[in-house]
Structure 1
Amino acid sequence: MRLVFAGTPAAAVPTLRRLASEHDVAAVVTRPAAPLGRKRVLTPSPVAQAAEELGLPVIAAARLDEEATTAITALDADLGVIVAYGGLVREPLLSAPRFGWINLHFSLLPEWRGAAPVQRALIAGDPDLGASVFQLVAELDAGDVFAARTVPVPGTATAGTALELLSVDGAELTASVVRGIADGTARATPQEGEPSFAPKLSLADGALDWDAPVERVFARFRGVTPEPGAHTTIDGQMLKILDAAPAAGESLAPGSIAGSKSAILIGTASAPLAVTRVQPAGKGPMNAADWWRGQRGAEGMRAGS
């Protein structure tokens, strides 16, 4: 198959590599280089870096406008494959490849249509995660599904580690669908059930509510880690929470903080949350217990949302 691939983050790289090993990838479409880190160094996307390693042509496009549409249409591709590109495919580009476009989406559709399916599923406490490959249509994540797979994820996995697992399984799932389309055996079926939606997360979504039970607090921590990041405020300053888990033992009042040798315990509506790594405002990541020991007047400090 002659393919055009569109994707941007690291979660799209396994699918690109898998398809490039079997098919002719005419070009890779990805979002332009963006400034990253404290020094704001202009950095190509993970997909752009993988494409360069594979020797594939790259079309850098912030959106699939007329210029990008013309360039992609000229490729005369059999099929378009999109994985977390970060932009919408509209007509006439939607119909430009011979078989249209397929999309790898990290949910069991019609659950969690939208930009942040894994994150929203973890925040909601869903027991299962999954991946679906579907025919791209104009409506958001609403096309017929070729294949889906439930992926067991450890109960402590964050959105970052869950996406790593899903991206590998999703690459194999997508490759099998592309083979089916190539040999004429692929069949897609309409989505069934009431859809739920997963809008992009904002910084505010990372605020932890200490008045909730620890299961809900931990679920939100998992869903917003590493992006946009879990955080709380202590003494008026934002504190990022990088690593945490529910703790056994005596309860603390919601928002109350107690130090230990290796962690700080923050009270919730049920059991405490044990926080082992933090990042104070303007500083680098550090051990939470070390940070706590360095606080003047730590007694009586409380965490707020």
Structure 2
Amino acid sequence: MAGGRAIAEDLLMRILLLAHSFNSLTQRLWVELEAAGHAVSLELDVNDAVTLEAVELAQPDIIIAPFLKRAIPEAVWKNHTCLVVHPGPVGDRGPAALDWAVMNGAESWGVTVLQAEAEMDAGPVWASRTFPLRPATKSSLYRNEVTEAAVEAVLEALGKPTPHRPGQTLWRPAMTQADRAIDWQSDDTTTVLRKLRAADGSPGVLDGEYYLFDGHPADGLSGPPGTWIGQQDGRLARATNDGAVWIGRMRRAEKASLKLPAAQVLPGAADLPVIPGHHDIWYDERHGVGYLHFPFHNGAMSTDQCQRLHQAFVTATSRPTKVICLMGGLDFWSNGIHLSTIEAALSPADESWRNINAMNDLCQAIITCGSHLTIAALHGNAGAGGVFMALAADMVLARAGIILNPHYKGMGNLYGSEYWTYLLPKRCGRLKAEQVVQARLPMGTVQAMELGLIDGIFPGTPQEFRARVVAQAESLATAIDMDAKLAAKRLARIADEAEKPLADYRAEELERMKLNFYGFDPSYHVARWNFIRRVPKSRTPLYLARHRQK
């Protein structure tokens, strides 16, 4: 192979991941490549000099670039095999592939693994995959279909590839805000949603003084095109020329502004009428099972959302059912406390304290529920306190391929709460529990199951996963020994409480959290500020840059 050695099937290799950030796709590839036995290290793309140094230190057999915003230095791709993961089908080129696919309403799309050369996205194709393009946001498609296709294509490329030059290619330029602009007088709801979905996550749609994000159809609503017509739980409804859309998140069009629930950003939003519409929490029930859904944006849970979900859970326990399934959302189960609403508060320390206590109240309700068996059904990724909230349930079921980050330390050495000091050792023992929270590394479902963090893995799409969860829950609800299971659960909780009360675990955790929020060390506040504003890291952490540990 030009630029590097040939790749032999089943050969274990030193692989250097080169990425702009340790995003969801990069984390998934890290987990999959490690599981396959490869020696994996990562370097964040800070500048050319750092990249050249990393390659010299790592001496990789191959370099994989799953997510870059700059070209790989010529001195690297000329002397090493560099495979770029492009989120577009064979022949597609350019930095905004998925944006254009969503904007143009493509029916199918793909992922291409190609070799880096001087001309961007024009090198030999080593592997590719295609998939139907569902009507969803760019970020949701990236976390699901693109990620699954990319993993398959990368693993194929590391086998026995037969690289070939693409035939006809199409260069798509970067998408500008002029391309994304919404004409509220002329654009119908379908067009508006495509524009919002194509910009979701980043950069958003610039609309006057604001960027708009998180668009959903507002069925049954209408008004003069472009006017704000209602609100509900932080979202705002805005009329199109044939209906309306819900806008979930906004930020002001100024430097360092925060993406927040839309009603917190738009002046006068509080005066809009409260109307029914798109919910961020809902409940349905069948065959003795209650299903509680909470697809919170990016998996973040504000104080208000924690309190509303807590109340919804308590209400669900009053129903004549036997099992409650906590369903989370398609893209995320939960990522714990809401760093954006905390950052926007007059006192981030005080809001952090309110938020973690609201999370703890919810977790306590799940742990102490004696009337039902509870299932945490993880359709999507989970991180930090969201992982431990899942462990509060009696059974944790996960979709194959999701990523867990069961640790807090990456957020400025945050200690964490959500009763993790009670829940994690119960599942994997004290020694392994300490190793898990100190590791700071993403975890796949196979490793999580080996550790005892989850109880079952179901493969397939989110829809197929839900069907398997429903079948499992209904089987539990109708089991002849259900009453015995519930009695055993209550006795076990009594025994645990006698050994050490839940209140003691909470008090000990919060004593450490109080130091994070109010103490002299500002690490948590600095890390949160940088995270919310997407400040690029100036160096790669050593636990990822293993080539630098030497």
Provide the TM-score with structure 2 as the length reference.
Answer: 0.41
**Matches of 1:278 and 1:5, distance apart in 2:** 32
Q: One-letter code of the match for 1:294?
A: A
- The reply to whether residue 94 of structure 1 matches residue 77 of structure 2 is yes
SS in 1 for 2:71: coil
- Relative to structure 1, the CA distance from residue 80 to residue 272 in structure 2 (aligned partners, 3 Å threshold; closer, same or farther) is same
**Matches of 1:93 and 1:290, distance apart in 2:** 45
**Matches of 1:250 and 1:17, distance apart in 2:** 44
Aligned match of 1:57: none
Map 1:112-191 → 2, pairs under 5 A: 113-155=93-135, 157-165=136-144, 166-180=146-160, 186-191=161-166
User: Please, which moves more after superposition, 20-29 or 141-150?
Assistant: 20-29
**Matches of 2:231 and 2:270, distance apart in 1:** 13
How far is the alpha carbon of 1:175 from its aligned partner?
1.4
- The correspondence for 1:255, drawn from 216, 226, 232, is 226
**Matches of 2:216 and 2:128, distance apart in 1:** 30
Aligned match of 1:13: 27
**Matches of 2:194 and 2:131, distance apart in 1:** 18
- The reply to whether residue 197 of structure 1 matches residue 172 of structure 2 is yes
How far is the alpha carbon of 1:286 from its aligned partner?
3.3
Query: Which has the higher relative contact order, 1 or 2, with Cα contacts under 8 A spaced 6 or more apart?
Result: 1
How far is the alpha carbon of 1:255 from its aligned partner?
1.7
Map 1:229-240 → 2, pairs under 5 A: 229-233=204-208, 238-240=209-211
Q: Aligned residues: percent identity? A: 19
**Matches of 1:191 and 1:294, distance apart in 2:** 54
SS in 1 for 2:158: helix
- Can you list the C-alpha shifts for 1:73-98, whole angstroms capped at 9, x where unaligned? 4533221111113221233211323x
SS in 1 for 2:85: strand
- Relative to structure 1, the CA distance from residue 153 to residue 125 in structure 2 (aligned partners, 3 Å threshold; closer, same or farther) is closer
- Relative to structure 1, the CA distance from residue 135 to residue 276 in structure 2 (aligned partners, 3 Å threshold; closer, same or farther) is closer
Q: One-letter code of the match for 2:243?
A: P
- The reply to whether residue 220 of structure 1 matches residue 195 of structure 2 is yes
Q: One-letter code of the match for 2:51?
A: A
Aligned match of 2:44: 30
- The reply to whether residue 209 of structure 1 matches residue 179 of structure 2 is no
Aligned match of 1:275: 246
- The correspondence for 2:84, drawn from 82, 94, 103, is 103
Is the contact between residue 258 and residue 264 of structure 1 (CA under 8 Å) also seen in structure 2? yes
- Can you list the C-alpha shifts for 1:106-130, whole angstroms capped at 9, x where unaligned? 110312x222221221122212221
- Can you list the C-alpha shifts for 1:180-225, whole angstroms capped at 9, x where unaligned? 2xxxxx10222122413142x5666654321223222111100100
**Matches of 1:154 and 1:197, distance apart in 2:** 21
- The reply to whether residue 245 of structure 1 matches residue 216 of structure 2 is yes
Q: One-letter code of the match for 1:84?
A: F
SS in 2 for 1:242: strand
Runs of 4+ in 1 over 6 A off after TM superposition: 260-263, 289-292
- Relative to structure 1, the CA distance from residue 74 to residue 243 in structure 2 (aligned partners, 3 Å threshold; closer, same or farther) is closer
Q: One-letter code of the match for 2:59?
A: D
- Can you list the C-alpha shifts for 1:117-170, whole angstroms capped at 9, x where unaligned? 212211222122211111221101001212211123431x21111110112331
Rg larger for: 2
**Where does the alignment leave 5 or more consecutive residues of structure 2 unmatched?**
1-12, 273-550
Aligned match of 2:512: none
How far is the alpha carbon of 1:253 from its aligned partner?
4.2
**Matches of 1:79 and 1:290, distance apart in 2:** 46
User: Please, which moves more after superposition, 259-268 or 169-178?
Assistant: 259-268
**Matches of 1:289 and 1:87, distance apart in 2:** 35
**Matches of 2:264 and 2:220, distance apart in 1:** 18
**Matches of 1:137 and 1:8, distance apart in 2:** 18
**Matches of 2:221 and 2:140, distance apart in 1:** 30
Structure 1 vs Structure 2 CA RMSD: 3.1
**Matches of 1:177 and 1:143, distance apart in 2:** 14
Query: By percentage of residues, which structure has more helix?
Result: 2
Is the contact between residue 125 and residue 165 of structure 2 (CA under 8 Å) also seen in structure 1? yes
Provide the TM-score with structure 1 as the length reference.
Answer: 0.70
Is the contact between residue 202 and residue 228 of structure 1 (CA under 8 Å) also seen in structure 2? no
Aligned match of 1:51: none
Is the contact between residue 207 and residue 230 of structure 1 (CA under 8 Å) also seen in structure 2? yes
Aligned match of 2:511: none
**Matches of 2:231 and 2:41, distance apart in 1:** 54
- Relative to structure 1, the CA distance from residue 75 to residue 277 in structure 2 (aligned partners, 3 Å threshold; closer, same or farther) is closer
- The correspondence for 1:77, drawn from 51, 54, 60, is 60
- The correspondence for 1:294, drawn from 242, 249, 270, is 270
**Matches of 2:251 and 2:170, distance apart in 1:** 39
SS in 1 for 2:58: coil
Query: By percentage of residues, which structure has more strand?
Result: 1
Is the contact between residue 98 and residue 138 of structure 2 (CA under 8 Å) also seen in structure 1? yes
- Relative to structure 1, the CA distance from residue 253 to residue 173 in structure 2 (aligned partners, 3 Å threshold; closer, same or farther) is same
